[in-house]
Amino acid sequence: MLSVTEASARVRARVPRLPTEPVSIWAARGRILAAPWRAGRPLPPWTNSAMDGFACRAADLPGELPVVGEVPAGHPRVEPVPPGAAVRIMTGAPLPPGADTIVMFEDARADGDRVVLPAAKLGDHVRRAGEDVAVGDVVVAAGARLDAAALALIAALGGAEVEVGRAPRVAILSTGDELVDVATPPGPGQIVDSSAHALAAMCRDAGAAPTYLGRVGDELAATTAALTAALGYDAVITTGGVSAGDHDHVRTALDGAGVELAFWKVAMKPGKPLAFGVRGATPVFGLPGNPVSTVIAFELFVRPALLAMQGAAEVDRPRAPVVLPAGYRKPAGRAHFLRARLDRDGERLVARLHPRQGSAMMSSMIGCHALVEIPADAEAVAPGATVAAILLEAR
Ligand code: AMP
Ligand code: MG
């Protein structure tokens, strides 16, 4: 059976890079920056005070100086501070001409219109123009995911709009006669199509724009027709109907819809029955139906693909070594991905496996910090051994 590594490589070799588009910085969170963002102005833009205090000349300190004015933030003082004098200044206010040093209020003793100031080093509590970012600096690299810090920095440099990889339009199609919409009380033998909600959320987290195409029953012609219609999107995700059951039609439907199959079945647990193929430039992921398998297969294959389509430089989650106090046993053959919470023990991360690891047990994903990976060829992990874990965002 195909290894996870080989399956990942096949996906990556086949996903296209989408064109870029401009978006408002207000809508750019989680999107992938298309080109390096260069500073067109310095930060800070002008020399200013890092403290609420008194602006003066270091050469006049220590001393008792007359206070000759006040500089609030947003109100530059153009008049120079005369030698032997001080002005009150607030954090973020431009340093007035003549002053070279700030003494913070806490170190000063004000007495009417005079102030006693201790000795200070030239330039104390002064933020120099350009000390954070110089004109021409690349502040955010191409392919970076726009997080809070990147958005703040780009905004500080006047970026009202940013060019990002187009959000992949992802079609989500659920299969199964048993599925009903969340708003419908399930009848006998029916369950809610819950995986559609996990998939839509995970797509959004990956910067993509999901559309739920609804549910299709376990019938070949209907599945083929729904799949064919879904191929107008940038990527397609189906759930269920992809294993070897009597009513699993996704694989045959992929063929009928003209999707060229790149693989079916990956040596992993959960998530073995997983089909991937392309029609033209459109990747199609036939994810397994069990909800935990769906989520893990998305994590391992779909999320990296959606990020790559947007031009992300980094598509994999970070990994870390974790201690497995309980050890683990399994037959050789498939890699296991175990849901775990992580606790710190000094410098080490300790994985506490969720007691219910069944692929249909969605409750194991709640509070799950990491997927502990037990390699395909491993049979026994000794108690206390260190293994690799994929770090998920805190859930
Ligand atoms: P399948 O792969 O179609 O045989 O489905 C495997 C298991 O996952 C069955 O118990 C299905 O009822 C369940 N399942 C399939 N699709 C979904 C879904 N969209 N939401 C929740 N459970 C599902
Ligand atoms: Mg099914």
Segment 223-278, tens digit of pLDDT: 999 999 999 999 999 999 999 999 999 999 999 999 999 999 999 999 999 999 99
Same domain flag for 103 and 120: yes
CATH, residue 145:
3.90.105.10
Ligand 2 center from residue 250 Cα (angstroms): 9
How many separate helices (H) and strands (E) can be counted in the chain?
7, 28
What pLDDT, on a 0 to 100 scale, did the predictor assign at position 158?
Answer: 98
Same domain flag for 188 and 292: yes
What are the CA-CA distances from residue 57 to residues 65, 82, 99 (Å)?
A: 10, 9, 5
Spatial separation of the C-alpha atoms in residues 197 and 172, rounded to whole Å: 10
Same domain flag for 29 and 120: no
20-24 and 109-111: which strand pairing? unpaired
Question: Do residues 186 and 192 lie in contact, with contact meaning Cβ atoms separated by under 8 Å?
Answer: yes
What pLDDT, on a 0 to 100 scale, did the predictor assign at position 339?
Answer: 97
- In the chain, the number of structural domains is 4
Mean pLDDT for the chain overall: 97
Ligand 1 center from residue 246 Cα (angstroms): 14
Same domain flag for 31 and 160: yes
Same domain flag for 257 and 354: no
Show Cβ contacts of residue 221 under 8 Å, excluding neighbours closer than 6 positions. none
User: For ligand 1, is residue 240 a contact (CB within 6 Å)?
Assistant: yes
What pLDDT, on a 0 to 100 scale, did the predictor assign at position 393?
Answer: 80
Q: Considering only CA atoms, which of 107, 132, 106, 133 is closest in space to residue 120?
A: 107
Average pLDDT over residues 128-157: 98
Phi, psi dihedrals of residue 183, rounded to the nearest 5°:
-85, -5
Spatial separation of the C-alpha atoms in residues 161 and 156, rounded to whole Å: 12
Ligand 2 center from residue 387 Cα (angstroms): 34
User: For ligand 1, is residue 359 a contact (CB within 6 Å)?
Assistant: no
User: For ligand 1, is residue 224 a contact (CB within 6 Å)?
Assistant: no
Ligand 2 center from residue 290 Cα (angstroms): 9
395 has a pLDDT exceeding 60: no
Nearest ligand for residue 196 CA: 1
306 has a pLDDT exceeding 60: yes
Please say which residue of 274, 309, 344 terminates a domain: 309
149 has a pLDDT exceeding 60: yes
Same domain flag for 303 and 327: no
pLDDT tens readout for residues 91-121: 999 999 999 999 999 999 999 999 999 999 9
389 has a pLDDT exceeding 70: yes
Same domain flag for 10 and 109: no
Parent domain of 152: 20-43+131-165
pLDDT tens readout for residues 63-76: 999 999 999 999 99
Please say which residue of 127, 155, 176 terminates a domain: 127
SS3 per residue for 24-47: EHHHCCCCEECCCEECCCCECCCC
- Supply the pTM of this predicted model: 0.94
Same domain flag for 118 and 155: no
394 has a pLDDT exceeding 60: no
Which atom of ligand 1 lies nearest, measured to the CA of 194?
A: 20
pLDDT tens readout for residues 17-38: 999 999 999 999 999 999 999 9
353 has a pLDDT exceeding 90: yes
Burial class (CB in 10 A: 0-12, 13-18, 19+), 238: buried
pLDDT tens readout for residues 196-219: 999 999 999 999 999 999 999 999
287 has a pLDDT exceeding 90: yes
